[in-house]
């Protein structure tokens, strides 16, 4: 099966991180929450630095130097943490964008999150630029003049901002404006944009795993002690700085002003931004048919509401006059067509309506639960050999048809989260010796929560649970990407060997029971 080169690169990087950090602490699985954590570090260190900071042309550089050198053990470390956490958040945002692009999680129903996420990068970058401005050293002078040139190139107040620097007319009032932007204005805009970015998601987490957070903080602290953040010489508007040590995470655009005109820099910057914003429609992607509610089989239990990853399901008062108080409603504009809700519905029990069409409270038109049940029966009927294993997979993980042989058959779902736990029990009752469920890699579900809900349901931690009568020794869960076929095959071989031993033990026990009865 072909995997696009960009995704292959990402999957290889993800695999390496899994080996290095483990699946629970893999930073690539927590880029969003890591960014929030870094914002907290930036906020706390920024508040500390603001206390002794003097926001004026004459006092800014001196107060920063005092923080850095006279109070190096506290203020100096805080300044370095502030700097390196700011750099790190650009890295996590860029990696997050790369991950979503490589995985195809930016088109279709996800267009809103992508389009509202791209501007966050520019808000963060401009926030960093005004932060460097406040130090008022030679680098601040360099970016202030560059920023003024860019602003004056816009058809607003031509030449008004540059005049402050070329003619030396900058005053404390102008400096205080930059201080206001950095400390209040831009953070408020960023907070609003972050809220907008996650508005269509449910169960949003803002804290990474504790171990990952502690490890990140210790790494930033070690870097701060090893290479403290330092200032250039004080800004002097009567001369041009000779050497500037740029922070390329934030200031990469300014060297372009040495080779291009301001207009060309704007065209380049806005062109990249426009291209990024248009990516979800280059080309457009159509999502599958949306989930459909059948009130005749819905009791308003709200399990689908709880499990929906994209806040597409709401609960309202009953409208059909049945005895139940509530019903669920699907918003097709928000629905990802993942089918996780069908796996949540208690009516999706294959033991119901054994000889009739299986109806459930909420279902997917393209792959109803009744069709999943019939595909399960057909796959089991096609199995032969000593140890028969049925594998359920999803569209965005390893294609289970690649695992098929006489003893192994696959049933492909939209998402592993749409698998009702009772369907696994049904497969075991109807001839499968074992059932493996594979989907996306652990902690990296294409639909956010599919593989997580599967594990929780099988462990009895989330309704609908896998009932106690199901033999857990005959069930295996192995998340996998397209490139993980070899790992899944090795796990299948181990699973098959375990099932063979289990069958042998059961046969021996049956023989012993028979011998005891004859005696």
Q: Average model confidence (pLDDT) for the chain?
A: 92
CB count in 10 Å sphere of residue 354: 9
What ranges do the domains of the chain cover? 30-204+213-234+247-281, 292-511
> With bands split at pLDDT 50, 70 and 90, how would you rate the model's confidence at 310?
very high
User: Hey, what's the torsion of the CAs at 364, 367, 373, 375, to 10 degrees?
Assistant: -170
Tokens of 190: 């960023």
More confident site: 278 or 353? 278
Computed from CA positions of residues 385, 387, 392, 395, in that sequence, does the dihedral angle turn out positive or negative?
negative
Percent residues over pLDDT 90 in the chain:
81
In degrees and rounded to multiples of 5, residue 476 shows phi and psi of -130, 140
Computed from CA positions of residues 414, 417, 418, 419, in that sequence, does the dihedral angle turn out positive or negative?
positive
Tokens of 500: 């063979």
Q: Is there a contact between 367 and 414 (Cβ–Cβ < 8 Å)? A: yes
Cα distances from 18 to residues 96, 376, 468, 492, in angstroms, run 16, 33, 32, 21
For the segment 373-394, the average pLDDT, to the nearest whole number, is 96
- Quick check: 111 pLDDT over 90? yes
User: Hey, what's the torsion of the CAs at 177, 178, 184, 187, to 10 degrees?
Assistant: 150
In degrees and rounded to multiples of 5, residue 437 shows phi and psi of -115, 120
Q: What pLDDT, on the 0 to 100 scale, is given for residue 88?
A: 98
Nearest to 269 by CA among 131, 105, 119, 159: 119
For the segment 366-395, the average pLDDT, to the nearest whole number, is 96
Cα–chain center distance at 169: 47
Distance CA(370)–CA(349), nearest Å, equals: 9
Nearest to 392 by CA among 343, 448, 337: 343
Nearest to 97 by CA among 77, 111, 79, 117: 117
- Quick check: 215 pLDDT over 60? yes
For the segment 17-37, the average pLDDT, to the nearest whole number, is 94
Residues in the chain: 519
- Quick check: 18 pLDDT over 70? yes
Distance CA(288)–CA(242), nearest Å, equals: 59
CB count in 10 Å sphere of residue 239: 9
- Quick check: 312 pLDDT over 90? yes
For the segment 270-297, the average pLDDT, to the nearest whole number, is 94
For the segment 291-313, the average pLDDT, to the nearest whole number, is 95
Contacts of 138 (CB under 8 A, 6+ apart): 232, 233, 234, 235, 236, 241, 244
Distance CA(141)–CA(242), nearest Å, equals: 12
- Quick check: 1 pLDDT over 60? no
CATH for 30-204+213-234+247-281 is: 1.20.810.10
């Amino acid at each position: 099966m072909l995997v696009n080169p960009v995704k292959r690169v990402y999957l290889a990087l993800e695999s390496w991180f899994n080996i290095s950090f483990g699946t629970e602490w893999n930073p690539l699985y927590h880029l969003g929450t890591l960014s929030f954590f870094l914002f907290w570090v930036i906020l706390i260190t920024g508040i500390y630095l603001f206390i002794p900071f003097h926001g004026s042309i004459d006092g800014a550089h001196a107060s920063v130097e005092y923080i850095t050198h006279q109070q190096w053990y506290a203020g100096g470390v805080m300044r370095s943490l502030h700097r390196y956490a700011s750099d790190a958040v650009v890295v996590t945002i860029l990696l997050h964008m790369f991950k979503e692009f490589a995985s195809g999680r930016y088109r279709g129903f996800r267009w809103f999150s992508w389009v509202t996420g791209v501007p966050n990068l520019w808000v963060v970058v401009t926030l960093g630029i005004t932060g460097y401005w406040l130090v008022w050293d030679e680098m601040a002078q360099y970016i202030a003049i560059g920023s003024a040139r860019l602003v004056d190139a816009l058809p607003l107040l031509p030449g008004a901002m540059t005049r402050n620097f070329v003619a030396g007319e900058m005053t404390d009032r102008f400096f205080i404006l930059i201080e206001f932007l950095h400390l209040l204005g831009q953070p408020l805009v960023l907070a609003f944009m972050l809220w907008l970015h996650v508005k269509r998601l449910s169960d949003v987490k803002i804290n990474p795993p504790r171990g990952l957070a502690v490890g990140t903080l210790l790494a930033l602290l070690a870097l701060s002690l090893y290479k403290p953040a330092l200032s250039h010489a004080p800004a002097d508007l009567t001369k041009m700085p000779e050497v500037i040590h740029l922070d390329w995470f934030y200031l990469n655009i300014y060297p372009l002003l040495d080779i291009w005109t301001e207009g060309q820099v704007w065209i380049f910057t806005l062109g990249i931004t426009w291209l990024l914003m248009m990516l979800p429609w280059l080309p457009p992607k159509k999502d599958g048919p949306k989930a459909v509610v059948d009130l005749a089989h819905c009791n308003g239990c709200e399990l689908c509401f709880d499990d929906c990853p994209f806040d597409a399901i709401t609960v309202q008062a009953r409208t059909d006059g049945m005895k139940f108080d509530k019903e669920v409603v699907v918003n097709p504009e928000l629905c990802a067509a993942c089918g996780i809700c069908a796996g949540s519905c208690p009516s999706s029990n294959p033991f119901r309506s054994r000889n009739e069409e299986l109806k459930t409270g909420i279902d997917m038109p393209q792959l109803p639960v009744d069709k999943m049940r019939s595909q399960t029966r057909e796959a089991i009927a096609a199995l032969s050999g000593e140890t028969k294993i049925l594998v359920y997979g999803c569209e965005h993980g390893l294609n289970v048809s690649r695992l098929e042989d006489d003893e192994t058959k696959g049933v492909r779902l939209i998402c592993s989260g749409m698998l009702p736990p009772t369907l696994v029990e049904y497969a075991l009752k109807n001839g499968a010796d074992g059932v493996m469920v594979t989907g996306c890699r652990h902690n990296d579900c294409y639909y956010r929560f599919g593989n997580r809900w599967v594990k929780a349901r099988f462990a009895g931690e989330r309704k609908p649970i896998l009932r106690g009568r199901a033999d857990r020794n005959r069930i295996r869960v192995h998340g996998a990407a397209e490139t993980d076929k070899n790992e899944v095959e090795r796990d299948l071989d181990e699973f098959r060997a375990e099932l063979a031993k289990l069958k042998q033990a059961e046969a021996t026990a049956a023989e012993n029971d028979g011998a005891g009865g004859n005696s």
